[in-house]
Amino acid sequence: MHQKMKKVQTCLNTDTIFDIMTRIHAKPLLALKCISREWHRIISSRSFVKSQLENTDLVLTGFIVQEKFMWCKEDIKPVNYIPVESKGAKVHNEVFNFLPEDVVVLASCKGVVCCRSCLPSPEPAMYVCNPSNREWIKLEYPEPSCDRKESIALAFDFELSKCSIDITSKFKLVRVKQVENDEMELYLTFELYSSETGLWRKSNEICQCDSNLIKNKGIYIGGVLHWLTDSDQVLTFDTEKELSWLISIPVPSFEFRTVPEACIGESEGKLHYVQVSEEGLHVWYLEVEDYYEFKWTLKHFKTLEEIEGEYPHFFLNLKNRVSERVSLDTTPWMNPLGFKDGVLLMKVSINLYIYDIKNSKMVQACSVLDLNPKSMSHPTVLPHSLSLVPLNNA
């Protein structure tokens, strides 16, 4: 057996096997690293990681879910990870145990996650980390105190040069704060952190917006961050030009008899808007020509009766339950939480489901009880892709 393993390790060093291995996605590679020290060394090498990033696309592997209190000053510590698997997916709750303290997740982008210290904390810090390789960078918080209502988004990119091992990881953090002027009008300000300078600075850009930023904060697509607001608009911010603008959602809430629920996400390089109402499940995608010209196109629609007919073992009286919500004060029966690559994580009653809309497949991911719930009314949900991308540019 030992000699066979040596032969396998020798084969891995050949150009052909090396090329094959670099075309495998990150998740199985993480398991292969455990075979031996030599496999671990090769798969962890910068030349292998660079080739793997060149030869494969990032794929959705799971959703990060963390509860939050809306009005309490303390944070809820447990962070859950729900894998996207066909059957028997297990909820993981130790994904961020490699960090030096309990954290609140803020944003996820290309396998990298931005977090901050759980409150209360005497010296709150920020972390940019990759759970796959357990690398992390600690940053000072922009202010001595931390405002739980602010939003901090992550814009992460990596560049692959012609050099056989050169991988440059760059990221920006964008901090959005709501400010009130002397006329008691609310507007949004933007602060930016760059990994290249290691400094925070305030942008000159402001956005006249009195809305709150809610689900799916800071989705990064093609150099632009997107936030869903509670006023039927999507806030956007170009991280290079430092320009912001508001985009109206496809169908405003007042056109429905009941209160709809929605989320935003990215698929095929485009912003998607997912809405659940008494009419059914709608999925639109956004086509942007410039800062002032944009169009929503309906990509997918199913009535609630159709969904219940396809999955009678999951749902009963779905339309009646959804139609009962006529006020924002009531908890939605069917709530889209996160969307990525055509896959929707949604909460229906006390269960969470993963719905592959593109392939029309649905599985029950878990029960809310599996997440040790304290307050599941406003959870933070981040789509996540396992990635070997390094954070250390050395």
pLDDT on residue 1: 41
pLDDT on residue 162: 63
In the numeric block, the tokens 């959870």 are attached to 379
pLDDT on residue 8: 47
More confident residue, 150 or 18: 150
For residue range 227-284, list pLDDT tens digits in order.
999 999 999 999 999 999 999 999 988 888 888 999 999 999 999 999 999 999 999 9
In this prediction, residue 123 has a pLDDT band, given cuts at 50, 70 and 90, of confident
Q: In angstroms, what is the C-alpha Rg of the chain?
A: 22
For residue range 185-240, list pLDDT tens digits in order.
889 999 999 999 999 999 999 999 888 888 888 999 999 999 999 999 999 999 99
pLDDT on residue 4: 44
For residue range 46-55, list pLDDT tens digits in order.
888 888 888 8
Q: What are phi and psi of 205, to 5 degrees?
A: -75, 135
Cβ-contact 362, 355 below 8 angstroms:
yes
pLDDT on residue 197: 92
In this prediction, residue 294 has a pLDDT band, given cuts at 50, 70 and 90, of confident
Over residues 370-380, the mean pLDDT reads 73
Strands, sheet with 103-109, edge to edge from the N-terminal-most edge strand: 103-109, 112-117, 125-130, 135-140
Relative to beta strand 334-340, strand 261-267 is parallel
For residues 362 and 360, give the distance between their C-alpha atoms in angstroms, rounded to a whole number.
Answer: 7
Over residues 70-75, the mean pLDDT reads 73
Res. 24: pLDDT tops 60: yes
Res. 78: pLDDT tops 60: yes
Over residues 314-331, the mean pLDDT reads 88
pLDDT on residue 379: 86
Average pLDDT, the chain: 87
Cα 290 to chain centroid, rounded: 25
In this prediction, residue 89 has a pLDDT band, given cuts at 50, 70 and 90, of low
